[in-house]
Amino acid sequence: MTERNIRMGLIGAGRIGIVHAGSINDTKGVDLVWICDPMVENAERLAAQYGAKASADPLEMINSGEVDAILIASPTSTHVELLEAGIDAGLHVLCEKPIDLDIARVDALRAKANDVKTKVALGFNRRFHPQFEGIKQRVKAGEIGKLEQLVIISRDPAPASQAYIAVSGGIFRDMTIHDFDMARYFVPEIVEVTAVGANVFSDYIEEEGDYDSVTVTLRGSQGELVTIVNSRHSSYGYDQRLEAFGSEGMLLAKNVTPTTVEHYSAEHTEQREPYLNFFLELYAASYRRELEFFIEAVRTGDMQSPGFEDGRAALILANAANESARTGKSVKVSL
Among 8, 10, 11, 21, binds ligand NAD (CB under 6 A): 11
DSSP string, 11-50: E--SHHHHHHHHHHHHSTTEEEEEEE-SSHHHHHHHHHHH
Which residue number is nearest to ligand NAD in terms of Cβ?
14
Cβ proximity to ligand NAD: between 43 and 147 the closer is: 43
Whether the Cβ atoms of residue 98 and residue 81 lie closer than 8 Å to each other: no
Interaction of residue 175 with ligand NAD, rule CB under 6 A: no
Point out which span in 25-33, 71-79, 111-119, 222-230 binds ligand NAD (CB under 6 A). Answer: 71-79
Cβ proximity to ligand NAD: between 129 and 219 the closer is: 129
Q: Starting from the edge strand earliest in sequence, which strands make up the sheet with 331-332, in order?
A: 249-253, 239-246, 147-155, 225-231, 213-220, 190-198, 331-332
Chain positions 90 to 109 lying near ligand NAD, rule: CB under 6 A, are 96-97
Residue count of the chain: 335
Count of residues in contact with ligand NAD, rule CB under 6 A = 23
To the nearest whole angstrom, how small is the minimum distance from the Cβ of residue 200 to ligand NAD? 24
Binding mask 124-163 for ligand NAD (x = CB under 6 A): -x--------------------------------------
Task: List helix spans (H) across 51-198.
Answer: 58-62, 79-88, 103-114, 130-140, 162-167, 171-174, 176-186
Cβ proximity to ligand NAD: between 13 and 195 the closer is: 13
Interaction of residue 123 with ligand NAD, rule CB under 6 A: yes
Residue 78 and residue 70: Cα distance in Å, rounded?
14
Whether the Cβ atoms of residue 94 and residue 23 lie closer than 8 Å to each other: no
To the nearest whole angstrom, how small is the minimum distance from the Cβ of residue 144 to ligand NAD? 28
Whether the Cβ atoms of residue 177 and residue 219 lie closer than 8 Å to each other: no
| Pairing verdict, β 69-72 and 6-11 | parallel
Cβ proximity to ligand NAD: between 219 and 289 the closer is: 289
With b for 16 or more beta-carbon neighbours within 10 A and e for fewer, the 200-209 pattern comes to eebeebeebe
Cβ proximity to ligand NAD: between 47 and 144 the closer is: 47
Interaction of residue 237 with ligand NAD, rule CB under 6 A: no
Interaction of residue 38 with ligand NAD, rule CB under 6 A: yes
Whether the Cβ atoms of residue 245 and residue 150 lie closer than 8 Å to each other: yes
Chain positions 264 to 293 lying near ligand NAD, rule: CB under 6 A, are 279
Partners of 250 in the β-ladder:
245
In 10 A of CB 146, how many CB atoms?
12
Interaction of residue 17 with ligand NAD, rule CB under 6 A: yes
| Pairing verdict, β 120-122 and 147-155 | unpaired
Cβ proximity to ligand NAD: between 231 and 240 the closer is: 240
Cβ proximity to ligand NAD: between 246 and 319 the closer is: 319
To the nearest whole angstrom, how small is the minimum distance from the Cβ of residue 70 to ligand NAD? 10
Closest C-alpha among 111, 118, 83, 116 to residue 98: 83
Cβ proximity to ligand NAD: between 70 and 331 the closer is: 70
Which residue ranges make up the site for ligand NAD (CB under 6 A)? Answer: 11-17, 36-39, 42, 58, 73-76, 78, 96-97, 123, 125, 279
